Structure 1
Amino acid sequence: MMRQAVDAADPSWTLAAWERGLREGPLDRAVTLLSAVAGLGREEAERTELGDRDAALATALERLTAGTAIRGCVRCGGCGEQLDVPVHPAALPRGPRYHPARPLEVEVAGVRIAFRLPDTGDLRALAGTDDPRAGRWLLLARCLPDGADGIDEEAAAVIEAAMEEASPGAAVTLAVDCPVCAASTVAALDVPALLWAQVQTRALALLQEVHVLARAYGWTEPDVLALSPARRAAYLELADA
C-alpha cells in the first residue's frame, strides 16, 4: 500500500524512525526506513529490489547529512586495524540499469533463463545460512522462476553477472588500503546501516535539544520540533547563557 513519502530531514520523522528502529534488527530497520522515505507499505518495501532500496536510502542519507561526507569504519583484513572510510552519499549509485517494464533474462548455452533481482525478503531467508556457498545457491533458487535445479556453475556465474549489471547499486564495495600494513581490504557498503547510524545520532541530538528547551521555556516536544534548526540553535544559545 502506497503512503505519503516523508522528508528524511524532518525531525519528527527522525525520532519516529529511531524509536521504531531501536526494537528492530538490521533487516527490519532497512524496511522501516525505506517504507517511510519512499511512502511504501512494509510488504512492498520488503519486496523492493536491493538496488532500488539502497538508492532511495542513499537519497535520504544525502538529505539528512546535507550532502556532506560521513565516516564509515572497516577493519583491516591484514592487521585488524580499524580504518576510517569517508563515504559521500551523493556518489552512491542511483536507480537501476534495466528497464522496469522488460523481463530480466540472460542466455546461457542457447537457453534463455529468466530471473528477478534480490530483495530484503531474500536476505531474510539467508539470515540463518552460515555457509556462503549454500547461501549463494539458495539466493539463486529464490530468484529463478523454476529454482536452481539444473543450473550449473557456469550458468550461475552468468546470472550473477547479469544481476550485478542490471542493479549495480545492490552490491557496492569499497577497497581500502591500510596505512599500517599496506594491505587492501574490500568491504561491502551497507547503506541501511549508514542511514540508521545518522538517524540514531540525529535523534539523540534532537532529544537533548527538546530536553534543554522544555526545561528552559516549558515547551512541549512538538513545540520544539516545529522550530526551524536556526531558531532552535538560537534558543539553545539563549538557554545556555
Structure 2
Amino acid sequence: MDELSVDPGRPSAATQLIALLLVSRSGEDAAPEARKLSMHDRDLVLAALYRHLYGDQIESVVRCRGCGTLVEASFSLAALIAHRVPDYSAGRPDGAGGFVTTTGLSFRVPTVADREEAAALPPADALDQLVKRCLGRSGTTQEICELQERLDEVAPLLDLDVAVSCPHCGRRDDVRFSIGRFTIEALARESRLLPLEIHRLAVAYGWPFDQIVALDRSLRRSLLRCVEAERNARRRA
C-alpha cells in the first residue's frame, strides 16, 4: 500500500514512490534505478501515475494576490505534457546520452540523483554542482545561461509557472506547479483517509488489517464503493 509507504515530508518522496512501484514489479531494491532516471523522465512517470490514479484534470484552489478571493485553477495534464515536448532544434544528440548545441556546448541531462544531491547544498553550491555534473566541468556565465535554456528545451520538466486569472478582479498571477509535489500531496491526502477505509472494510467483511492493506488499491476502492452503496441503500429504505 504505497500511500502508507511514502513519507511526504522527505525531499526525495517522489523518487521513493517510483522506487516502490519498481520494487513491486521486480521484488528488488529499485531505488538506485529510480535515481538514474533523468528529471524529465521522472516527471513523465509521475504524470502517468497521477493520471492513472486520479484522472487527467489537475484542480487546485489558490488565493488571488489582488483581491484575496479563492480562485479555482484547473487544466489538463495531457495538454501540459503536449506543450512540454522536447525540442532538439538547437543542437543534436551526441550518441553517448548527451547533447551538443549549435554553438558547440556539450552536456548531459541531469538525473534524479544529480538533483537530489544538489538539493542538499546551499543554492549557489547546488547550481555549481549541477553545472559540473551536466558539463563535466565548471562553466562560464554564458555557458550556464545557455545550458539552462537548452535543458528546458531538450528535457522540459513538469515544474513551471501556470497562469491563473481571477474572475473577480481580473488579476493574472503565475502559480507554480510541480508534478512531483502535486502527486505526493494527493497521495498524502489519500493516506489520511486510509484508516477510515480500512475500518469500514474490516467491519463489512470481517477481514484483518494485514489482508486489507495487501489489497490492490483499485480493488480496495471498488469494495469500499460497494460498502458505501449498500449503506446508503439501507438508509433510504
The CA distance in 2 between the partners of 1:75 and 1:134, in whole Å, is 33
* Counterpart code for 2:98: P
Q: 99, 103, 108: which one pairs with 1:104?
A: 99
State whether residues 71 and 166 of structure 2, in contact with CA within 8 Å, keep that contact through their aligned partners in structure 1.
Answer: yes
Which of 22, 27, 32 is the aligned partner of 2:7?
Answer: 22
Instruction: Name 1:119's counterpart in structure 2.
Output: 111
Deviations 1:165-194 (A, max 9, x none): 101235433122234554432233211121
The answer to whether 1:60 aligns with 2:49 is yes
Q: Is the 8 A contact 2:159 2:179 kept in 1?
A: no
Equivalent residue number for residue 144 of structure 1? 135
Residue of structure 2 equivalent to 1:169: 157
Deviations 1:133-175 (A, max 9, x none): 6654443233211222xx1x33222221111110123543312
CA distance in 1, matches of 2:126, 2:67: 28
* Secondary structure of the corresponding residue to residue 169 of structure 1: coil
Deviations 1:96-135 (A, max 9, x none): 5566865212243xxx22212223333333435565x665
Q: Residues 130 and 186 from structure 1, CA distance in 2 versus in 1: closer, same or farther, beyond 3 angstroms?
A: farther
Gaps of 5+ in 1: 1-15
Q: Alpha carbons of 1:120 and 1:87: their partners in 2 closer, same or farther (altered >3 Å)?
A: farther
* Matched residue SS, 2:162: strand
- Distance in 2 separating the partners of 1:97 and 1:237: 49
1:197 CA displacement? 2.3
What SS does the corresponding residue of 2:138 show, helix, strand or coil?
coil
Measured after TM superposition, the shift of residue 80 of structure 1 is 6.1
Distance 1:81 1:121, change over 3 A: farther
Deviation of the 1:17 alpha carbon: 2.2
Aligned length: 217
For residues 179 and 35 of structure 1, the distance between their equivalents in structure 2, rounded to whole angstroms, comes to: 41
Q: Does the C-alpha gap of structure 1 residues 210 and 102 become closer, same or farther in structure 2, counting only changes over 3 Å?
A: closer
Of 28, 36, 39, the residue aligned with 2:20 is 36
Partner secondary structure for residue 186 of structure 1:
strand
Selected match of 2:191 from 193, 203, 226: 203
What does residue 185 of structure 1 align with?
A: 173
Amino acid in the other structure paired with 1:147: S
Over aligned residue pairs, what C-alpha RMSD do you find? 3.3
CA distance in structure 2 between the aligned counterparts of 1:75 and 1:128, rounded to whole angstroms = 30
Question: Aligned partners of 2:201 and 2:102: how far apart in 1?
Answer: 63
Unaligned runs of 5+ in 2: 24-28
Residues in 2 aligned to 1:73 and 1:45: alpha-carbon distance in whole angstroms: 31
Q: Which amino acid letter does the alignment assign opposite residue 122 of structure 1?
A: D
Amino acid at match of 2:12: D
Q: Distance in 1 between matches of 2:69 and 2:128?
A: 33
How high is the sequence identity, in percent, across the aligned residues? 24
Q: Structure 2 CA distance, aligned partners of 1:212 and 1:28?
A: 32
For 1:116 and 1:75, how far apart are their aligned partners in 2?
A: 38
Distance change (3 Å), C-alpha of 1:164 and 1:23: closer
